[in-house]
Structure formats: structure tokens, C-alpha cells
Amino acid sequence: MSTNSAGFLVILEDFAKKYYCKDLAKRPSWEKTWESLEQILTRFDPHALGGKLEPPIRFNPDRTLVLYKMMFRLADEYDKSAKTSGHRLIFLCDNVNKVIRVLLVYQKRHVKGNKETQWWERMIKDGYQGLP
């Protein structure tokens, strides 16, 4: 968890840690990768992330809670882009309370079946209540 006075508080949820994050944590570069991701999310600006951030997936009626999917690469994957690495994270941005909750961190090989979106939607639906 990290924060700064002008940015977002970033919380890596226990559900995310319990599932695929623990697999990624076995990689030597995970700690450095997570530190970078925390810094990016602490200073979160959807317009500054270009090709790494997909358009908002869902939001509540007043658009204060927004669900995003972001691509990233591990720190030691010099030959890959964020998109080609297959690493993804799903997070909820609370613009009122300035909190980002990382709900799921995974690699495309973790996906069961051939429909990635349906898979992660089922994962977060099972793990979290009250999402937009």
C-alpha cells in the first residue's frame, strides 16, 4: 500500500494477492515491477497512460467509481511491450476518496477458457461485492 499527499492511496487487495499475484511474486523482478505499478497508480491519470490503459470498463452512475484494465510488463521483460507481455491488472478507481483498489493481477496464461474478459469478470464478481 502506498500513497502521497497529492495522489491516490493504492491498495493491493488480499483477493488479488491470494490468486495470481502470488504466482507473479515468484519472479525475481516482481518486487521492482510492483513498486513501479504503485508509483504509476499513486499518480494515476488515465490520459497519461496511453496504450497501457484500456477505456473504462464500468462505472457507477456519477462516474466516481471507475473499473479499469491495465496492461504492464515485468521489469525484466526488456524485449516485450506492456501489451505483448500478457500481464494485466484490474483496478477500481475511487475518484472521490482518492483510492485505487487493485482487484486482480494476472498473466494471460492464467485465464481458463478462451474468453479473457468473461474469466476476469467472473473472478472479480466472486471476490468482491458492490462493484459498479
Contact between 10 and 42 under an 8 Å Cβ cutoff? The reply is: yes
Domain count, the chain: 1
Contact between 91 and 102 under an 8 Å Cβ cutoff? The reply is: yes
pLDDT in tens, 77-107: 988 898 889 999 999 999 999 999 999 999 9
**Domain span at 54:** 9-127
- Name the pTM for this structure: 0.90
pLDDT tier, 1 (very low <50, low <70, confident <90, very high otherwise): low
pLDDT in tens, 21-73: 888 999 999 999 999 999 999 999 988 887 788 889 999 999 899 999 999 99
Q: Rounded distance, CA 23 to CA 21, Å?
A: 5
- Is 3 inside a domain boundary? no
- Is 114 inside a domain boundary? yes
Q: What pLDDT sits at residue 46?
A: 87
